[in-house]
Every structure is written in structure tokens, then in C-alpha cells.
Amino acid sequence: MTSALPQSDPIRWPAEAIWLAVEPLLPGFTVEVLPEIDSTNTELLRRLRSTPARLEPLLLVAETQTAGRGRQGRSWQSRRGDSLTFSLGLPLARTDWSGLSLVVGVALAETLSEHLPAGHDARIGLKWPNDLWLIDAAGERKLGGILVETASWDGVRQVVVGIGLNVRPLELAPAAAPVPGFVAAPPASLSEIDPALDAPGALLRILPPLARALDAFGQAGFAPFGARFAARDALFGRAVKLSDGTEGVARGVGWDGALHVHTASGMKEIISSEISVRPVATAAATARGPSPSETPAPGLAPC
């Protein structure tokens, strides 16, 4: 495995430019860059627990995560300089949070797609509910993931949106418990989209559209994002298998972000983020077992 950027090499985070771009969209917004932390999601949830009165939007960026977490208790591997790992915590005045991770995915995919080289036959797709895929001649490979968690105190609900993106190729440790019959595809990285895009540059590009999307979601929920998600839905029309054993054909998502799967016993609506979905026909190529960047590990489940 090639080594991470030496600790002595500083990473120049554009914290002030980020603050200037995001504060008008999320009043009270602050930015913190942490040289090392277990997980930016865990740290934000810890801080919310210890100071529940703190309801202002807060961005935590980690240069190194020692215990990064993915969905369903998996671990999320990253490497200093070669990965972008951050979490945005904010209060959202909404009772119905369904579809939030899809909205985050739409914002990320649209922003990053602006960096795709002209004439290059590649696109960024979204795999329900929280994966960004780079889809090109090499197949479908995971570019990043989203972990949305929530916490509430005294009736006020805070959301923590955690995002992990591969910036440069990572040679990651093999899955601790590979799924028999699946060959793990190497993850994709932003460098394949735009070699000039480093972690600080990507963060600066991503945050303002993300803040706008979160604000829009807070006001009107997932429904206004439905068409934009559909345009990037990487599962639509494909045979899929759910982690509960159900098989069917993915038929897009509803107004609430639920995945519709046409099964032998009728249309099923999948709302639980605890259920994972895998395309059947391309399973070996897409490696949707635990991929190298999301190895199974005991950990906190999304709340």
C-alpha cells in the first residue's frame, strides 16, 4: 500500500472561502479542520450530546479518520490527502426526513459532474440510498458514500450529514468478511474525473450547492428533487436483490425517496436504510459485497 501524505506536509484547507460561501446560506455556520479524529460523524454527535443547546450549523473536516463509519455498521477507510472526509451538522425544521441522503447525493453528483471531461463517456450515478458511483468503460465503481444520522434533544432534531469521497486511488485493505461469489472492484476516485481536483478544492466546490440543497430539503422535502434523482438513478430498470432476500426489478423512487421494487408478489416500497440493494446482473463487476472501502465492522448504526 502506498503511504499517506506525510503529516509534516500541510493540507491547505480554504476554510475562510468556505465560510464566506456557506454562511449566507446557513447563518451561524462555522468550519473546523481536525488533523485526526475517530470519525467526523461520531465527533459531531458527541458534541451535540455534550452541548445540546448548540444548534448552529457546524462543518467538521478530518484530515485523518481513525474509525470512519459507513452505513450498516461498516467501517469507512480513508487516507490523509487521498480522501475527503467531512460531516455537516445542522438543525433542520422538518418532521419528515425521508429522502435526505438522496438529496445529498443529487447535490454531490451534480457538482462533481461539472468536472467530467468533455467528450468522455462517463457519468456519476446514484445507487439508492447513499452511494455515488462513477460509471464509465471500467464499469460501476464507488466514488463515495453518504452517512446521514440524526439526534434530537427537547424536540429539536439535528442532522449530521457525513460524506466520504475518494480523491486519489486507494489501495485499501481487503474486506474482513468478503461475500462469497463477489469480486471486489477497486473504488473510483475524483482524480479520474479531474486530476486537478484535490480534497480542499473538492470541498470548496461541493459545500455551497450542498448547503442550498439542504435548505431546499428543509423547506419542501425530497419531492422537488425526484426528477434530478431519477436522472442519475443507477438501479432503475435493473434486477436487484435486497439484503432481506427479496428479488425484483428496481422501478425508481417515490415522492418520499422510498425505493420501488417490482417483485413477484407486487410492488414493494423500501424505506429502511438498513436494507441494502445490489444489482443482480452485474454483481461480480460492481462488487457490491462489502467493497474495499466499506468493510464490515462493529459500530454505531445510523439512527
Q: How far apart are CA 295 and CA 44, in angstroms?
A: 22
- 206 phi/psi in degrees, rounded to 5: -75, -40
Please select the residue that binds ligand BTN; options are 88, 109, 159, 163, rule is CB under 6 A.
163
Contact by Cβ (8 Å): 151, 55: no
Please select the residue that binds ligand BTN; options are 64, 87, 166, 276, rule is CB under 6 A.
87
Nearer to ligand BTN, 69 or 141 (CB): 69
Q: Which of 69, 127, 141, 142 is catalytic?
A: 142
Is residue 102 at the binding interface for ligand BTN, with CB under 6 A as the rule?
no
Restricted to residues 48-77, the positions that interact with ligand BTN (CB under 6 A) are 65, 68-71, 74, 76
Binding mask 142-161 toward ligand BTN (x if CB under 6 A, else -) reads ---xxx--------------
Is 142 one of the annotated active-site residues of the chain? yes
Contact by Cβ (8 Å): 108, 133: no
Restricted to residues 166-195, the positions that interact with ligand BTN (CB under 6 A) are none
Is 157 one of the annotated active-site residues of the chain? no
Q: Which of 74, 251, 278, 288 is catalytic?
A: 278
Contacts of 55 (CB under 8 A, 6+ apart): 91, 156, 158
What's the half-sphere exposure (Cβ side, CA atoms, 13 Å) at 217? 30
Is 278 one of the annotated active-site residues of the chain? yes
For residue 8, the minimal CB distance to ligand BTN (Å) is: 24
Strands annotated E in the chain? 30-37, 58-65, 83-91, 123-127, 131-136, 139-153, 156-166, 239-242, 247-253, 259-263, 266-270, 277-279
Active site residues: 71, 142, 278
Q: List residues binding ligand BTN (CB under 6 A).
A: 39-41, 65, 68-71, 74, 76, 85-87, 130-131, 145-147, 162-164, 294
